[in-house]
Structure 1
Amino acid sequence: MREFSRDFGRTSAVPPERVVREGEDGTIGHLMRQAGATGRETAVRGAGRSCNTQTLSPGTVLDNYRPDALPRFTGDDHSVAVPSGITWLELEKWLNRHGRSNPVLPSYLDITVGGNLSVGGFGLASVRSGIQSDQVREIELIDGTGRARRCSERENGELFRFALGGLGQVGFISEVVLRTVPYRPVTRAARIPHTGLADLVDFMRNGAQDPAVASYFGMYDRTDWYSYVSYDADIPDPAGPAETQPVPDYMLYSHGETTKKLHHLLEEDTYANLWVDHILAPSGFPGFCARVEELTHEYPLSDTLVALYFLVIRRPPAATRFVLAPVVDAPVQYLIGIFTAADRSDSRAISGTRRVLRELLEACADAGGRPYLYGTHDFDAELLERFYGAPALRRLEELRGRLSLTHFNRRAFGGFRP
């Protein structure tokens, strides 16, 4: 039970009464129906990478971590039907063996497909292909009565738009059908150094927009500012100071490098991880970043900051208007991740960091941005309405009541309910 009492944030312990697992304890439909009948608070947990108790429950935890689950191709367009409990790491390896790949992947892959899509999902190739939820053709969604529905833009479209990015608030995502692209065994990539934040942001707004760029992320690791870019194989090297190098299995390489760099935070339970990501339009991004940089020179971020992480997001022109996903109404959007950590015994550093992250959450709302819901966000009613609008929040609660889900994933907003 101890494993299921904390999430990646490790700031709170919420021991569950019971943990159930598909197959061992019944079908997902049976488990959802059983939890709904008892009224016991229930949460779905994949890899447990939430930072603010979103995947914890004092009642029932539905363990959906299934890295050995098997995908299957469906149709004649190389779409793949994927059990939601498989990790991106295992899915990508399976696809590569069959000559295919995911269009968009995060730099860390040992997280479940369903959990990641339930918060929207970003990745290095978001600079070209949008968010991970933009790659979803269809999902199977199970409500609190155990009923399964196929949801897509054409069928049960409202549930589709609430489910992807909504952190499981309108049902359990049991299967997803994803778009795939041809596998590239070798990718040309380059590390580009920057003189500071202004230089990195300028590159995001200009250099990363080069049509040859296939993927992008930026980083400040407390020592250096830099960007990593990869390029299309059939486009000549772009002009500039960076020298590209061939990298086999680029996304698996990126995952390995991320795992090594963050091993102490990912695996050692002595740290409290307070991570947040904010997505902003071009108009609000520079000012928000400038405020973040100011705060990094002051306590507590001067002590607790681990890294700043940056992405460029360009969504397809006809992208689905997901209701709660971390996207804004702009053709090009920017993400800044603020990753902090403190010893779990250092209550002053933890409380101080939470205070600063709350200030930045308000600044994100002021700038017209949105947060990534897995993170350490301290919401209240006013902030939720500023981000999502009162009509959408009312409709969310109506759907939860209609689908017998008022007990389900109640901590999606960090414990606060609209």
Structure 2
Amino acid sequence: MRKYFVGKMLRKNLPVFIFLFAAFFSISNTIYAAAESVVTDGHSQEEVKRGERFFKGLLPANREFASCVSCHNLNPVDTLNWNPSAMDLALKFVDKDFASFQASVMNPTGAKMEASHVNFKIAEEDLKTVKLYLDNLAHKGPAPAKPTYFNLILFFALGLLLTWALVELIFLHNIKWKVIPMLIFVGAFGWQVKMIVTDAIKLGRQENYAPDQPVKFSHKVHVGDNGIDCMYCHTTAENSKSAGIPAANLCMNCHVLIREGTHSGKFEIAKVVEANETGKPIEWVRIHNLPDHVFFSHAIHVGSGKLDCKQCHGPVEEMDIMRQNADLSMGWCIDCHRDTKVDFEGNGYYEHFVKLHEDLKSGAIDSVTANDIGANDCMRCHY
């Protein structure tokens, strides 16, 4: 009897419960958003919105200069934007007064920034709202990327289609030609299987992964244009499991003198200088990730195997934005071991392969691949 009463009460008042539940989360989110914004500091939401309009170039109506957002992007882009993003500016000036911000905008230093701000004119009161908008951005953070649901919708649409085809074949019999619903069923089911298999294969793989980094470091500029050797920065690649990330003091070997980049101006290099002076390391985002159950050593591949870096990392000298060049799957590694000829002769690391050395000298074989010396044994990578 009690269960019946509770169930009846829930059914009768379900809309009320749903409304209260939604209202609670709506109010909670509103309170949280307000707590993380500058609106609580005595500024109005209208001021923040006005600053956003000036930043995006919607105001003033008779503007004769480039908008802020035309250089300082709000969202990540596929190609390298050398200018600091809106979030970079927001974080840089959030703890600084308006005078510092105004001086940087209206009286820029450095050839790159002077060229970008030529003919830039904005009233002081309007610039204050821009600073307010950026401060608010620094507190709230950028808007989260909206997920895409195309594949999910397509999957369910195919499911409905094959369900209809199945019902038509078994129960309805409305279509004279049975081959039509049969083909629809096979096609929809096959496409669903293809989607599942494709996404399953991609699990844990990050081909073309290119995350935003805290500093806009271009391998194209440093390796391609300036000819810096990989080992100059990645000093442990020949002797360690990891290639290593250079500390800021190594960067300062060059940037103690070079304080302004041709493309990026002073903003990005200033981050490196600050990291060196404060001792706070730059938090680079790792690009090449392998599962925890896989062992990989740069020392074996680079130090002993004498592989060129681009064999795994691709044409780094052409990349402004560093990305993962290969999928780093097990099949990719195995194929490389089968095809790659080892720098065998005169290499002390391979002296104990006596039989292979004898075969090379006798002409029985003309080369040795990584597979020939056990590179594809399971225990080499999984132990």
TM-score interval, smaller chain: under 0.3
Q: TM-score, normalised by structure 2?
A: 0.21
Higher RCO structure, 1 or 2 (CA under 8 Å, sep 6+): 1
Largest Rg, 1 or 2: 2
Q: Which has the higher strand share?
A: 1
Q: Which has the higher helix share?
A: 2
* TM-score between the two structures when normalised by the length of structure 1: 0.20
